[in-house]
Amino acid sequence: MRQDLRMESTTRPRDLSLLPKAHLHLHFTGSMRPTTLLELADKYGVHLPDALTSGEPPKLRATDERGWFRFQRLYDIARSCLRTPEDIQRLVREAAEEDVQDGSGWLEIQVDPTSYAPHLGGLIPALEVILDAVDSASRETGLGMRVLVAANRMKHPLEARTLARLAVRYADRGVVGFGLSNDERRGMARDFDRAFAIARDGGLLAAPHGGELTGPASVRDCLDDLRAARIGHGVRAAEDPKLLRKLAERGVTCEVCPASNVALGVYEKPEDVPLRTLFDAGVPMALGADDPLLFGSRLAAQYELARRHQGFSDTELAELARQSVRGSAAPPEVREKLLTGIDGWLAG
């Protein structure tokens, strides 16, 4: 089957912005338009470093401690410009508009509401503001949108439990999953097992980060200790054939973000990202933009990277889009519509 998928038609490559797809790995502040950041920074008198104003993605190399610190500092500065419900509404609406332009029919945006709570009146008001913004943006743009609440592995596991309980409480308001983000070199996955148990018992999808800055062991920990249904990134699993088989057999979707992997120094160039290795091993993937504000490219560009630098045919790109839909928390009717649209894109 994999060999058949590599057979390319003789027609001109199709427009990837018209390929229906689901977007499963997009961080909240990182989804911001650069122009919006500039306007909000001016509004609040926030000084932005050159790396956020040059118009070029910063060179971060987060595989070392200094590089990750620089990445986190830039992210925190950008996040400090989101202070009112109106700012939140603008960010979410614009993120939805960008996704629609890139062919996305479903977006699961990832957020740690504790980061926005100081300006929005507390943890619960912050999450409610975010969920209201998601609901409004979905109605205005027609994009299916939900929220994945993410804990910070740099903080105490008790905080993660609090977030998990909150996420479950709002499962009927648009929260569909629970994640774990930040530097995976800090904090063991098993320290957060109770938080993920709370989330799973509440019907939420478990989607921690793993296998980005550290190797295959990080992915195994997410599977074994957190019982992950999806893995944020997961690309380092390519270094362990046995782990690849495990992911494929369990149907665990890896949310792979090629441009991010290169920008953060996980891989030197786009050709090095192991998309082909995961694909040929039968590991489901959902390409994601991660933090477009910092990495300079959005969703459709990730598919273009797979096409241009790794030789993925339109047939294979359509299969990647299907995998993103199947790995999502979208309701059956949305999945069916997107899958039908993918078939139409390929047939056109």
Q: Indicate which residues carry an active-site annotation.
A: 212
CA angle 265, 271, 273 (to 5 degrees): 55
Strands 253-255 and 230-233: parallel
Residue type for position 34: P
Tell me which H or E stretch contains 91. Answer: helix 85-101
Residues 6+ apart with CB under 8 A from 118: none
Distance, CA of 90 to CA of 147 (rounded, Å) = 16
Give the E-state strand segments of 64-217 in sequence order: 104-111, 144-152, 175-181, 205-210
- Let me know if 275 is exposed, middle or buried by CB neighbors in 10 A (0-12, 13-18, 19+): buried
Distance, CA of 339 to CA of 321 (rounded, Å) = 8
Q: Give Dmax (Cα) for the chain.
A: 57
Starting at the edge strand found earlier in the chain, the sheet holding 104-111 runs 21-27, 104-111, 144-152, 175-181, 205-210, 230-233, 253-255
Residues 6+ apart with CB under 8 A from 271: 309, 310
User: How many other CB atoms are there within 10 angstroms of residue 49's CB atom?
Assistant: 12
User: DSSP class of residue 29?
Assistant: G
Distance, CA of 207 to CA of 149 (rounded, Å) = 10
Please provide the DSSP assignment of 216-285 as one string.
HHHHHHHHHHH--SEEEE-GGGGG-HHHHHHHHHHTPEEE--HHHHHHTTSSSSGGGS-HHHHHHTT--B
Side-chain-side CA neighbours of 201 within 13 Å: the count stands at 10
